[in-house]
Structure 1
Amino acid sequence: TNNYFYVTVLFVLIRGNKGQKPEVSHLPKFPQVYVGDDVTLICNHKGGSKPTKWFINKTPQQTHEDYSMLLIAVTPENNGKYECEQAGSKSEPYTLTVLELEPLAQLSPSVGGAVMTKGDGRNLVLQADDDLKGWACFVLRGVSTFSLGLDVDEKMNRAVIFAELKEAERATFWCKKKKIDLRSNAVTLKMTELMVMLVPPAVPALQGEPVALRCVVWGGPKLEQAVFYKNKTEIKSSSEGTYIITNATQSDNGKYSCHATYRYSHISAEAAQKQGDSDAQELKVIGGPPAAVISVSTNSLRCSCPHCPASCTSYHWYHTLFNDPYTRRKLTENDEFITVQDEGLYSCRMDCGKGFSRFSNDYSYAVEFGRMWYILVAALILFVIIIVLIVVLKYRRCGRMDIQAPGRDADQDRMMSVHYVH
């Protein structure tokens, strides 16, 4: 009887497992996927070890056979229906929709790029238009999500999280407003265990904009030569540690690495010359969301967005101090035009409902001439005061001399008359 029971249970379990369809889900659990996000599609999270076949719009994918499919810097070209198959059973189609807009808040590294050495960490700064008290931040390492501590600076309207990879090879960080489906962009950091690192920016590379790829050696030695490679082919050799793509296009997509020759001469003047290779890092150039544009007429600024969709109907203006890029403050004006008064950097973007246009370039407004005018006026007033004081003092001194002079003459006359009498 016991044997019959075990066989029955085993048969039910096998039959039950066979009848279960795999399911496609995406990580991180973004409420909305934006252009530039790194997204991992998971097939049947609980049965991850099984061989997996992937289909995009019914077309089988030969390059993806793992239960997870990593999509780097997604664009609307990644839109479609994704299916996976395990043990002959196919999932329901999962629809991926990428919004060609930017999320509400911005997350960016205070220093450094997308690659860190093992055990390292860095601060990521969160900026949003509103109060940051209601925000929470998360990290995806592998397929596990963890919440992070958020240090809010209310006075400066920004917050900081400490980003570390732990043992993960890559990790994606993002923040979300509690109880509301509003979030920041995501920042993906990658780990290397090598001394030499090829470091791309931590934000997606945008078409038409410059991209800097840095060859960095741990410990900050003197870099004598850096050789840069694209898809294992040498593209540049120089004593500079940075390779700059001045105008990024799709043709710049590829895997980049560098070979560095260096000395730790700051530790010892006779330090030996050393060499090393970096890991290869993938660069993907994307079109990105449409950008707002600022046009100037005297001290009046106009915000427009020629390539924005019709859903972009209102304007957001921002002011940033010259000496601190993280002091960005949303202005109360929401019209197409504003009049600038305070010196600093001005930018704008358009609100498109589910997201925003890209920020415009910064317009720099300096009131140096105004300051000089105030200084000149103050100096002129001071000069006039000094002249008036000199004149008044001179007049008073001359007046005293004129008053005293007759008195002295009278005394002398009296003395002379006295002597004459005697």
Structure 2
Amino acid sequence: MDMRYPLILAVLLALIRDGKGQTPTVLLRPNFPQVYVGDDVTLICNREGGSKPTTWYHNEKPQQSYQDYTMLLTAVTPENNGSYTCEQGGLTSVPFTLIVLELEPHAQLSPSVGGAVMTKGDGRNLVLQTDDDLKDWACYVLRGVSTFVLGLDINKEMKRAVIFAELKEAERATFWCKKKKALLRSNAVTLKMTELLVMLVPPAAPVLQGEPVALRCVVWGGPKLENVVFYKNQKEIISSSKGTYDINNATQDDNGKYSCHATYSYSHISTGAARKEGDSDLQELKVIGGPAAAVISGSAKSLQCSCPRCPKNCTSYHWYHKLSNDQQSHTRLSENGMSVTPEEEGEYSCRFDCGNGFSRFSDSYSYKAPPQTVNVMPIMIAVILIVLGLLIVLLIALKRRSGGSDVQASKRDKDKTTGGEYEQIQLKDKDQAVYHTLGESTGKEQVKDEAEGGYEALQKKQEEGVYHTLGQGEGQGEGQGGYEALKNVKAEVYQTLSTDDTKKTEKEAEEGYEQPSQKNKDYETVTVEENPYEEVKKQMDKEKNEETQ
């Protein structure tokens, strides 16, 4: 007998004994230091050389729905807390304790667009936001049971970073980010792949109880949807042409697996495109309670933050401001008290710091700066002063106009009192004004008639005024008893009409004399400083009396 056979047999027995004696180990993937409510995690029953058929236990109760060496837990809650063990080949693992914190992690990771499902070979941007500097942050992806590091594109000005998420060949992948040498991390985002043209797309974030949720039925290539039928747990629930199933107030009753059947055509490519139909994959919808949410309230002067359902160790406040036109990024404010005074317009929110995590963000409070109050008193005073000034100017103008009319009216009245016999004379130098009567050579009757026609005012222009009578026969045709002013360079000489010249007929005498051009007046009105009529009239009366005697 060959001595080599017993040696080979001993080695084989030792190997078999070592394989059977190895205890399975439960591993957590991703290997989070803390698990937060809403995370997707995977438990792996790891045993080298062991068989894959696995029995899982949760708090010593067998979980019949899990028979593979991995156990996927989606959107975990405190109900998932407890001890987990796995059994392979008659060997049971050491218990693994899972504790789910009913809080939110430090940072937020979310898709820039789209939901939790995308087609094979597709990719999507995920946006990371934190309260502090992004310098020491790194991002990872779990595909199957393997973890990979992702590149991080940091935007320092906007205080956010972007990673490109792709599934490659995996059916699903979980993405998250973590701060190096610290326990701070973001929430986990799970994306799933489909190879079908028709997709039911749930939101990437966990669905929280009481919040609205929309399930979209999408067809690759963007064709025109003619009709969509939605199913829950393979039972038809609604038919619609919109392509969206809306749940206004999500509850635990909405949990289940959803799918859709779409009727569509690529009419935007070709008007004669044929009608097509297709079904989507099943997608799980799980509604959870989620962590306690902060509550924000405010007025025109301040905003207040509270959290009645938060644990007692939640004592610090974090305030955030987000511009209305930028929903992807927010900025943490320096205030950490219960209330803040808003300074710029936008959306404000708050949350509580509870040590190992945070409360949920409050609803956004849209703040608009109140219109600035203007002190109208100076404006009113200025307007009143301007109005008063205008009124005063108007009254002065009216008074002057009325005064001028009164003066003209009074002068016209004075003219009328003279019976139209005299014409006002304005004297620049009353001492040198000389008046002469009509010459006696015209005869007494002619003098009488001419006296009734009145006298013409003689005005001295320069140093002295000299008035002379006209010669006989000059200008009788110009009117009865009228006078004609003859101007000289240095003096004005006025002469009386002569009675020896050619006499006018009786008819011409009756027609009267032509008066100087006036507007609706018999006589021209000349402004005088003193009225000389009385002296002229006395002189005329004196001459008449002498003639009659």
Normalised to the residue count of structure 2, the TM-score between the two structures is 0.67
Structure 1 position 297, deviation (Å)? 2.9
Structure 2 CA distance, aligned partners of 1:46 and 1:284?
34
Deviations 1:374-410 (A, max 9, x none): 9x99xx9xxx9xx9xxx9xxxxxxxxxxxxxxxxxxx
> Could you list the per-position Cα deviations for residues 294-352 of structure 1 after superposition, in whole angstroms to 9, with x for gaps in the alignment?
01133211100010011101000000011111230000000001111100000000000
* 1:328 to 2:330 alignment: yes
Give the whole-Å Cα distance in 1 for the aligned partners of 2:269 and 2:177: 41
Partner of 2:27: helix, strand, or coil?
A: strand
Shift in Å at residue 45 of structure 1?
5.5
Cα distance in structure 1, aligned partners of 2:4 and 2:214 = 69
The TM-score normalised by the length of structure 1 is 0.87
SS of the aligned residue for 2:17 comes to: helix
Q: How does 1:221-236 map to 2 (within 5 A)?
A: 221-236=223-238
Matches within 5 A, 1:141-156: 141-156=143-158
Q: Percent identity?
A: 71
- In 1, Cα distance between the equivalents of 2:107 and 2:8? 56
Distance, in Å, in 2 between the alignment partners of 1:346 and 1:58 is: 47
Number of the residue aligned with 2:81: 79
5 Å-filtered alignment, 1:22-421, equals: 22-44=24-46, 46-47=48-49, 49-367=51-369, 369-370=371-372, 421=489
Could you tell me whether the CA contact under 8 Å between 1:51 and 1:86 is conserved in 2? yes
Secondary structure at 2:192 match in 1: strand
Whether the aligned pair in 2 keeps the contact of 1:52 and 1:67 (CA below 8 Å) is yes
Counterpart amino acid of residue 21 in structure 2: G
Match of 1:8 among 10, 15, 18: 10
- Which runs of no fewer than 5 residues in structure 2 stay unpaired? 391-460, 463-486, 491-549
Distance 2:190 2:122 in 1: 14
| 1:271-304 C-alpha deviation (Å, 9 max, x unpaired) | 2211111001000000000000001133211100
Which AA in structure 2 matches 1:190? K
Contact 2:223 2:266 in 1 (8 A): yes
Deviations 1:115-152 (A, max 9, x none): 00000000000000000111000000000110000000
Structure 1: give runs of 5+ residues left out of the alignment: 392-415
Taking the aligned partners of 2:66 and 2:234, their CA distance within structure 1 comes to 23
In structure 2, relative to structure 1, the CA distance for the partners of 1:154 and 1:311 (3 Å cut) is: same
Alpha-carbon distance in 2 for matches of 1:222, 1:48:
52
Deviation per residue, 1:33-56 (Å, 9 max, x gap)? 100011111101645752111111
Question: Could you tell me how far 1:3 is from its partner in structure 2?
Answer: 2.7
In structure 2, C-alpha distance between the alignment counterparts of 1:77 and 1:256, rounded to whole Å? 23
Deviation at 1:32, TM superposition (A): 0.8
SS at match of 1:251: helix
Secondary structure (helix, strand or coil) at the match of 2:183 reads: coil
More strand by share: 1
Whole-angstrom distance in 2 between the partners of 1:129 and 1:47: 46
Which stretch of the first structure deviates more once superposed, 9-18 or 283-292?
Answer: 9-18
C-alpha contact 1:81 1:96 (8 A) present in aligned 2: yes
In structure 2, C-alpha distance between the alignment counterparts of 1:48 and 1:10, rounded to whole Å: 16
CA RMSD of aligned residues (A): 2.3
Which structure is richer in relative contact order (CA contacts within 8 A, separation 6 or more)?
A: 1
- Indicate whether 1:19 and 2:21 are aligned: yes
Tell me the residue number matched to 1:398.
none
- Between the aligned partners of 1:146 and 1:420, the Cα distance in structure 2 is 125
Q: Which runs of 4 or more aligned residues in structure 1 lie more than 6 Å from their structure 2 counterparts after TM superposition?
A: none
* Distance in 2 (alpha carbons) for counterparts of 1:235 and 1:270: 31
Distance 1:125 1:78 in 2: 28
Alignment match, 1:397: none
1:164-201 C-alpha deviation (Å, 9 max, x unpaired): 00000000000000010110000000000001100000
Contact in 1 for aligned 2:351/2:360 (Cα 8 Å) = yes
Partner SS, residue 72 of structure 2: strand
**Contact kept? 1:138, 1:145, Cα under 8 Å:** yes
Q: Could you tell me how far 1:17 is from its partner in structure 2?
A: 1.2
CA contact (8 A) 2:23 2:47 kept: no
Q: Matches of 1:292 and 1:233 in 2, distance apart?
A: 38
Corresponding letter in the other structure for 2:321: H
SS of residue matched to 1:236:
strand
SS at match of 1:132: coil
Query: Taking structure 1 as reference, are residues 64 and 304 closer, same or farther at Cα in structure 2, changes over 3 Å only?
Result: same
CA contact (8 A) 1:52 1:66 kept: yes
**Matched letter for residue 39 of structure 2:** D
1:123/1:48 CA distance change after superposition, 3 Å: farther
